[in-house]
Amino acid sequence: MSPSVLFVCLGNICRSPLAEAAFREEARRLKLDVVADSAGTGGWHVDSPPDPRAQAVALKNGVDISALRGRQVKPADFRRFTHLVAMDHDNLANLRRLAPPDATAELSLLLDHVEGRAGQAVADPYFGEDDGFDVTWTDVTVGARALAAKLQRRRG
Ligand code: 4NP
């Protein structure tokens, strides 16, 4: 089965859409056959486009995420995806709480996949300054690249 990755944050308008975009880019570069999506544990931004600051940082780095729309994690995601990748510890704890008994997805933090950064969170940039989104982009890119490389090694 091809790997499939759902990136998860709180609102699905800042970190996880950026992680999804960075991961798609890297998967394309590696010619990795993989499905990617993102979702939030909260439901406030269902059907909303990504935060304008997230769209701006993505565009600055060559990726247009304006067509993405927010959605909430649902029980079926725990079987549909092979990997559920949380941005921070609260998201991960919420995923563990929401997991149905027949869940098969592997749960992790995004930065668990980066050597030397296991257990670290991608900080929530929503209430911070605009330059926080540059840090977010750097973190999700490092994480997405490490995860894509790991999935490629597993398939090789
Ligand atoms: P995200 O950021 O989880 O990275 O999408 C947030 C977006 C919205 C809210 C919090 C965090 N909010 O409270 O609405």
Task: Dump the DSSP string for 9-39.
Answer: ESSSSSHHHHHHHHHHHHHHHHT---EEEEE
Contact (Cβ atoms closer than 8 angstroms) between residue 65 and residue 55: yes
The residue annotated as part of the active site, out of 15, 24, 53, 145, is 15
Looking at residue 68, its pLDDT comes to 98
Q: Determine the residue type at 3.
A: P
Give per-residue pLDDT as tens, 80-131: 999 999 999 999 999 999 999 999 999 999 999 999 999 999 999 999 988 8
Q: How far apart are CA 24 and CA 28, in angstroms?
A: 6
With a 6 Å cutoff on the Cβ, whether 14 touches ligand 1 is yes
- The pick from 6, 8, 12, 13 for probing ligand 1's pocket by mutation, whose C-beta has the most ligand atoms within 8 angstroms, reads 13
Looking at residue 154, its pLDDT comes to 86
User: Does position 156 have pLDDT exceeding 60, yes or no?
Assistant: no
Give per-residue pLDDT as tens, 89-99: 999 999 999 99
Contact (Cβ atoms closer than 8 angstroms) between residue 54 and residue 122: no
Give per-residue pLDDT as tens, 127-148: 998 889 999 999 999 999 999 9
Q: How far apart are CA 24 and CA 41, in angstroms?
A: 21
